[in-house]
Amino acid sequence: MNHNAGVTRLVSLFVVSAFCACSGEKSNTQIVNNLSAAEISQSAATGCDASLWAHVYSPKRLQQVAPCISVTGTIEESNVDEDGDQHFLLKLDTGQDKLLNKRNQKKKSGDIVLEVVCANPTTQKKPKAACAGYTNPIRIPAVGEHVKATGTYVIDSHNGWAEIHPVSTFIK
């Protein structure tokens, strides 16, 4: 890992920690408090497509923790959201539990949320602009499939849980 990437991750952790400390949102930030830069760097990856952020509906709600990580596990749930995203719940393989926070444990049965942007037609009016003229070509894995997912590691400030959003790649 180059020096700039390490500095970027540390600065990102600091900014997210500072933002969350000011807002008093302990459940949203527990993940930041539990992870060291070394732990995040163990999951650090390359191959994230930054251009996907142009297709994220309401990106300000997503607090970036790491710009590009990979996780492995089994798809437990898959559904189409009205904003056009394909949502997944991924049961992480052993050793990745620190990527989850209390909200993932309580509301998502200990799974991490994965979101593939613009994978489906948008049925809501507001998100249509984010996907206008774009359909994500990523292969959608089946429930029960073991995958390696690579994307941006975020905290969804509307829900409080940790996500990989947007997902850039799935590898079987």
Residue-wise pLDDT for 113-136, tens only, equals 999 999 999 999 999 999 999 999
pLDDT value of residue 45: 74
| Domain 3-171 of CATH type 2.40.50.140 | yes
Q: How distant is the alpha carbon of residue 76 from its chain centre? A: 16
Contacts of 43 (CB under 8 A, 6+ apart): 66, 69, 70, 71, 96, 99, 153
pLDDT value of residue 87: 98
Instruction: Calculate the average pLDDT of the chain.
Output: 84
pLDDT value of residue 19: 39
How far apart (Å, rounded) are the C-alpha atoms in residues 154 and 151?
Answer: 9
Q: What mean pLDDT is predicted for residues 144-149?
A: 98
Give the pLDDT band of residue 28 (cuts 50, 70, 90).
very low
Residue 141 above 60 pLDDT? yes
Q: Which residue has the higher pLDDT, 20 or 62?
A: 62
For 2-6, 55-59, 81-85, 165-169, which range has the lowest pLDDT when averaged over its residues? 2-6
Q: What mean pLDDT is predicted for residues 60-71?
A: 96
φ, ψ dihedrals at 140, nearest 5°: -90, 115
Give the pLDDT band of residue 79 (cuts 50, 70, 90).
very high
For 18-22, 40-44, 58-62, which range has the lowest pLDDT when averaged over its residues? 18-22
Q: How many CB atoms lie within 10 A of CB 9?
A: 20
Q: Which residue ranges make up each domain of the chain?
A: 3-171
Give the pLDDT band of residue 39 (cuts 50, 70, 90).
low
Question: pLDDT for 10-19, tens place per residue?
Answer: 434 433 443 3
pLDDT value of residue 3: 45
